[in-house]
A and B are shown apart, each in its own frame.
Chain A
Amino acid sequence: MNAAPHPAGSAARTTTVVLAFGVGTLVAVGLGVYGRVHDASFFAFNLAGFSSGAAAKAWLASVAFLFGLVQLFSALVMYGRIKIAAPRWIDTLHRWSGRIAVLVTVPVAVHCLYALGFEADPLRGLVHSVAGCFFYGAFVAKMLVLQRHEAPGWALPVLGGAVFTALTVLWLTAAGWFFTTSGIHL
């Protein structure tokens, strides 16, 4: 975040950004291709206690979204955008809420990918499919940027914002849609 980075640091930053965004892009495209190529099997395990696989997914996604909100809040605190005295455990909170959020999304995404695949029609399906691929791409890029200390200062907030935005779109185009059309129930 220096105003005038020296050339070596600048090169390292470029490498980090190219690497992280490159791998993230590959992941996003790869997921999309897999979803498109793999035949929708319409088969998947159902979780006990839910009326349907769709309900289970909607609730899991909602849990992920709640943790996503914790992510947004803790990030804003850490970056000083919310003027409260940041508790010492704020970074731990951010890390672990993020881990839980992303792990909770995995069963949902696997069901989407394995049982349904990439959907180009209707528009809701297309937006959801693209956002799903983008979400994991952005997530991977963010983890890679976190891993490297040479990343430019804007990279984390941008990627974090992208991940959160994608999660919001994903929730709205699936869980939100599910709850508004078939009611809020387990």
Chain B
Amino acid sequence: MRRFAPLLTLLAVFVLGGALIGLNALGDPGNKNGQPSPAADAVGATVAPAAAAPTSAPAPAAATPAPPAVAQKAYAGRSSGNEVTVAIAVKDGRAVGYICDGKHVEAWLQGTVRGSDLALKSADGASTILATLDEAKSLGTVAVGKKQWPFAAKGVSAPSGLYEGRVSVKGVLNRIGWIVLPDGTQTGLNKQGAALVPAPVLDPAHPESATVDGAPVTVRTIGGGDVVIAS
């Protein structure tokens, strides 16, 4: 034992570090994306028809994944009673979304597009978007916790769309999401540590940066291929 004490110490550090990295990776919601749970699919089958859905019937809960109807597009819009703003971006069958009311509700979602059906959910599974989409629009249901609303989102192009900024200020992580609608209005929130605070204004002419508490934030446009729930 004593002969190898330094190596055992090294081993202990290595094992502890590896275990913690492993735990983080296991608990990391980002590593579970791209595969909506059966529960979410089941919800989709029952909820989607109730939504302000277009004429195309939702595909049956098919086991065979259909190719995505839209290769790459961003959508932005609101729920029917203007409760929340919704942004969606899709690319090659992958999709991300952001729900935000600008005050105290926000959620980042990830999921998939199968045929014209979109299914997104947040890391904790509490928020979902189930919708159908084509090149011009996405219509469906957005759910936050126990509330759900029908929503309509238009296909948009820059500077409308979904933006994200991340910065660490004074040791606190700030993660800001913005949705810029075609009419120029923007809805955003800043998750500052565990708190939600108003997002800084994003200049539509220069949406590549913003300022939080005096600190510059690099802002990126979120596309369907981006990872928004951890990495």
Contacts and interface: CB of A to CB of B under 8 A. Distances in A.
Interface of A: 38-45, 52, 54, 58, 95, 98-99, 102-103, 106-107, 109-110, 113-116, 139-140, 142-144, 146-147, 177-178, 181-182
Interface residues of B, number: 31
A42 B164 CA distance: 13
A39 B13 CA distance: 23
B230 A41 contact: yes
A100 B93 CA distance: 48
Interface string B141-184: 00000000000000000000000001010111101000000000
B20 A41 contact: no
A66 to B, nearest CB: 18
Interface centre among B7, B27, B171, B227 (most CB of A within 10 A): B171
Contacts of B20: 106-107, 110, 114
Nearest to A146: B6
B230 A43 contact: yes
6 contacts: A39-B227, A42-B175, A42-B230, A58-B171, A106-B20, A181-B171
B5 A43 contact: no
Interface in B3-30: 4-7, 9-10, 12-13, 16-17, 20-21, 23-25, 27-30
Contact of A99 (B12, B24, B193, B194): B12
Interface string B20-64: 110111011110000000000000000000000000000000000
Given A54-B172, A140-B10, A181-B170, A41 B16 contact: no
B231 interface: yes
Contact of A39 (B17, B193, B231): B231
B168 A43 contact: no
A43 B29 contact: yes
A52 B194 contact: yes
A48 to B, nearest CB: 13
Interface centre among A41, A52, A115, A178 (most CB of B within 10 A): A41
A116 B171 CA distance: 11
A182 B6 contact: no
B216 to A, nearest CB: 10
Contact of B6 (A41, A44, A106, A143): A143
Contacts of A182: 170-172
Contacts of B23: 45
A106 B14 CA distance: 9
B17 A102 contact: no
Contacts of A98: 9
A37 B197 CA distance: 30
Nearest to A54: B171
Contacts of B17: 106, 109-110
Contacts of A99: 9, 12
Nearest to A99: B9
Given A106-B20, A107-B16, A144-B10, 4 more contacts: A38-B231, A40-B166, A41-B230, A43-B231
Given A102-B13, A182-B171, A40 B6 contact: no
